[in-house]
Structure 1
Amino acid sequence: MFDLNQVCENAKEALKEISILGIDEKNDILRKTADALVKNSDEIIEKNKIDVENGVNKGMKQSLIDRLSLNKKRIEDMALGLKQIATLDDPIGGIDSMVKRPNGLLVGKKRVPLGVVGIIYEARPNVTADAFGLCFKTGNVVILKGGSDAINSNIAIVDSIRGVLKENGINPDAINLITATDHETTTRFMKMNDYVDVLIPRGGAGLIKNVVLNSTIPVIETGTGNCHIYVDETADIDMAANIIVNAKTQRTGVCNACESLVIHKNIAQKAIPVICNILKQKGVEIRGDKTVLDIYTDAIAADEEDWGKEYLDLIISIKTVENIDEAISHINKYNSGHSESIITKDYANAQKFLERVDAAAVYVNASTRFTDGFEFGFGAEIGISTQKLHARGPMGLDALTTYKYIIYGDGQIRP
């Protein structure tokens, strides 16, 4: 029988060792772990096939099957992410500032691990390796609660990682996997604040809301991705179409995929047919307002729910606006704080969009699909935070640290 308390106790105990490992030792383990994942890829893929087959039999959407599926290339990418993490500077132990007070005290801020990090996530096996790499590099211990849809894949990946740790004399409880798949265990895990220092949910709106409402552990919220692209009146239409097709169809089951378009009325007659025809060729269903329907007859009418929906599917909504101010207002009303982009040749409008759109990542003339820890140079990511406290956007190494004040004196007492 799975013993959640014992797993959490083991993780807390392992933190004593993991938090003080040296940078060379951590980087060596990360590189060896990467090599082991590639070496064990056949076994991992075989276990993943079981999960994929189960998902197909349950009627899982194709976009989610894609997110669940592993192949040699994806495992090599996971390994590459670990190796890139190994090349990055270690934030742990860094001194953010050191100030001398009038009384002679030296007051500084030193970067330290968060502690035991819990992650609850859905059918994304790549998260398993990414989470270990980032947590291990920053001296944290991680407890993973993956979705039941990916349980066989996650077990295989964790077994590979723990094997490397054991072979190199490192406490294997640096990474822990909750193998029980029932909801009761997940609920109990959210209450383990005696052992777990922070909880990070990764998944759909339902999962995130459940964790935020029920956890007694501090939560870093990684939100859903209702990402917009605004086509300004000066936009290069071919550039816009190329960016939109990439953002919508390169992978549909990810949080940085474009779900909504906003188009300036002055370019609508030219831009909508070009953009919609290409999207239609890719199998995308178009849901638009009255102007869109008048211009593109293959579209269907959008309703209020469409403006704020994360489809994770081959569906996109299109809203036409009078000006950039209306575009920004619409985006700020319906977005999820994730990623927003403007396509424009107008520098002033680009700067206005960057300044006024409230999101973790705001782009000019680029795809929202770049909101990703690997693409931002972090090696990987623990999630994409859409909240504003502690961390925002793709969460790399720095986001998995906190600080403590260190004070040097030479006998001072407070009068």
Structure 2
Amino acid sequence: MKKKQSSKYNVVVGIPSYNESDTIPYVAKTVGEGLEEYFPGKKCIIVNVDNNSPDNTKDAFLGTKTRIEKRYISTAHGVRGKGNNMLNLFNFAKDAGAEVTIVVDADLKSITKEWIEYLGRPIVEGHDYVIPLYSRHQFDGTITNHICYPAMFGMLSMDIRQPIGGEFAFSPKLIKYLLKQSWTESTRQYGIDIFMSLSAVLGGFKICQSGLGTKIHKASAPKLGIMFEQVIETLLTVLVQNKDAWMTGNNGDIFVPDTFGLKDLAEPQELDINILDLKEKGQTEYSKYQTDIKELLEPYAFSRVHEMFEVEVFDLTILLWTQIFYSLVYRYDISTSSEDRKKIINSLKPLYFARSLSFNYHTWKYNVKYSEMEIRKSALGFASQKYYLWGLYSKGNKLGPEKTKKTRSGKQ
């Protein structure tokens, strides 16, 4: 019998980056310590997958002293995007025959060596995809809190709290599967995290979560720019391409993945937020896209949203937010041009800000535990309104739930 060829590297840890020279040394050093302690006897490597950062990220990474081998891989000059970095990492891990591939962000300030154990060990024990659990300020991760988490909870019946968290681990089987999928331009950019999480769910892979504690990084207020557009474009595109996963007459139980790592996630980092600045940005976007929003929304929904922006008092309820989002999913699905789909994504921007502001007004004086309960209520709202989404298809003479293939992708 032919002896199985040993892996070139057993464990690969990737650090995607762009202009992170100030933070990547600490991350690389900590990753090295974690690999030494938790994967002794394994051949390990730390790979910085970069976009030719002009701030000397490469030298900062390679100049960091670690006992673990390091390698720098960059996209071609002029090619940007976290997704392109991840594509380079996946190809490297596949060629190396890696048994475990871990990814951590380059801007982390709270990473500990234990994170390598918490992320990597579940892969060794047979899971395909490890997603992080953090303690995060309620004003951090707003795209996750108000769109990605409740959408996956409601439409796919998957309780994955941080689907675009930044720290992940992969089995060789999942990496090969991801490389075979269609990578759009938005996937090659900021859409990569939601693409990976949706692909793992829809592909039926064995998913778990791992508690990492507090995530301290370069946190930011809600983003209206290219990041929002790329994440939402990827989310909506993958969802409408896989309608059979959620157009089903059986609402089903919510699947909660196994949890590894820390149980007590401690207190989150402090995050100041400028409400006036958010209101101004939201008003600017609403002024730009008001006509499109009126065309896309039901009259009652538009009337309520318009009133909020007129009087600058934001109270976009979970019920109305859910119905607005689902109506835009339906519109996105039946749109026949990229221009129409772009209009839908742009129209969602001020509506997302209205929901963020409503949430912030409601929770600013409460602790994280209470705020998490409110985010959970939003997810439950998305689940309870799934029939509203189905009704849009029936109303539009499209394929209704009762006529759709009854498959349940992503259930383990």
TM normalised by structure 2 equals 0.29
Structure with the bigger percentage of strand: 1
TM normalised by structure 1 equals 0.29
Structure with the bigger percentage of helix: 2
